[in-house]
Every structure is written in C-alpha cells, then in structure tokens.
Chain A
C-alpha cells in the first residue's frame, strides 16, 4: 500500500503564512485532498483537485502540487485555523481513497 508523509507539527504566527507538505508516490498520479480536523470534531474538506475550495472554506486556504509533493498553504493564518490537517489520495492501484497522510498539527502563535 502507499504512504503519505507529513511533518508532525508546524507553527505559524497570527496573520503569517504557513505551508504544510505531503509526500508520497501516489501523488505523482493523483492530486491530494486536504482535511482540517479540530478536537472532538469530524474532518472537514478544505482543498480538493488542483486547487479547489468547497463552499464556505476561506480563500486563505490554497493547494498546490509538484512531483510527489502536495502542499496546503494558509495565507494570513487565523486563530481558528489551529487544527490537525491531513492529506489524502487514491492509493497507487487507483482502486480507492485508502491513503491518508500522517497528519500535521498546526499551532497559531
């Protein structure tokens, strides 16, 4: 099965920009989607496809991809952006969305 690797912890000052990366072989074939999860809550989709935001997601969230690395950028981080973030992609076989990243805890200082 495939694996997606993320940095465990990232900090950002209030109002500054932070980039969260996700690395894995499956990302050469499939775009990653990104999920925000706050304590005690279900994950919420924030980015999908090349760089698409679902309705209600602020435009300070953006996504990009190059080679085997996908990135989620928060431009002008807010206190409410403090959360765990997970990337996800289809596995290398292309059969299912069975690959989640290891997760990144974003702390807003």
Chain B
C-alpha cells in the first residue's frame, strides 16, 4: 500500500523557517517525481514545487521561488521542503504528492497526474 506521511508543520513567526518532511512507503520512491502542493484555509489547491526522481529537474511556483527549497533522499525514501522567509500568505496545509506519468500508445500522449497524496501538514505563519 502506498503511503505518504508529511510532518514538520507548525506555528512559525513571519520571517521564520520550517522544514517539512514526507516519508514514502509502498513503492519504489527513487523511480518517481515528487511534488508539494498547498492549500490555504478556504482556498483552492496550489502547486508549490516538483523534483524529478534523481533530483536532476526541480521547479518552483513563482510565489515561493528563492525562499523554498525542495530536496529528496532516495536512500531514506523521503521528500523535503525547506521553507525560509515565511510570510502570512504561506499559511496552508502542505501535501506531498507522487507524480505518475505514462505514455498512452493509443492516443500518442504522455500523461501526468498526482496519483497519491499524503494527508497534509498544517503550516501557520503568524506573529
């Protein structure tokens, strides 16, 4: 059974830092790209960052670029998000999500989607 378990959330003051972790199990972690997605209270889903299976390709949303750093340790089956210079608008539930991709020979398309999600960890930025 695939499991993604986030941890590390909590209350932090503006300008502070926090490191989120996501422990993966039930699949070959080193074979999949991983993502962080967040959801502010009462708002929609917002993609935050992605990292390829070997950490070769990393992308960030403009809203967090330069402040957040995604990383992974394939030996520990773990995904991380280092969050610095936190702002009130970073307050959200942060989910880690496994990205799956496959080539559909019938349509000729490469498909990408978030196949599994963790339960999320709440980050609150407030003084």
Binding site for B on A (CB under 8 A): 1, 30-31, 33, 35, 37, 42-45, 48-50, 54, 84, 86, 88, 90, 95-103
Chain B contacts of A42 at CB under 8 A? Answer: 95, 117-120
Total B residues in contact with A, Cβ cutoff 8 Å: 29
How many residue pairs between the two chains, A and B, have CB atoms under 8 Å in the bound complex? 79
- CB contacts (< 8 Å) of A35 on chain B: these are 45, 114
Q: Could you tell me if B112 and A30 are in contact, using CB atoms closer than 8 angstroms?
A: yes
Chain B residues with CB below 8 A from A98, complex form: 47, 50, 59, 61
Q: Which of B10-53 contact A (CB under 8 A)?
A: 35, 37, 44-47, 50
Residues of B within 8 A of A37 (CB): 45
Chain B residues positioned under 8 Å from A43 (CB to CB): 37, 45, 95, 114, 117
User: How far apart sit A100 and B47, CA to CA, in the bound complex (Å)?
Assistant: 7
Which B residues are within 8 Å of any A CB, using their own CB?
35, 37, 44-47, 50, 57, 59, 61-62, 95, 99-100, 102, 104, 106-107, 109, 111-120
Q: Determine if B109 and A31 form an interchain contact, defined as CB atoms under 8 angstroms apart.
A: yes
Q: How far is the CB of A67 from chain B (nearest CB, A)?
A: 15
Return the chain B residue nearest A33 by Cβ: B113
Q: A96: which B residues are within 8 A, CB to CB?
A: 35, 47, 50, 59
Would you list 17 pairs from A and B whose C-beta atoms are within 8 A, ordered by A residue?
A30-B111, A33-B113, A42-B117, A42-B120, A43-B95, A43-B117, A44-B117, A45-B115, A49-B109, A50-B109, A86-B44, A90-B112, A96-B59, A99-B47, A100-B44, A100-B45, A102-B44
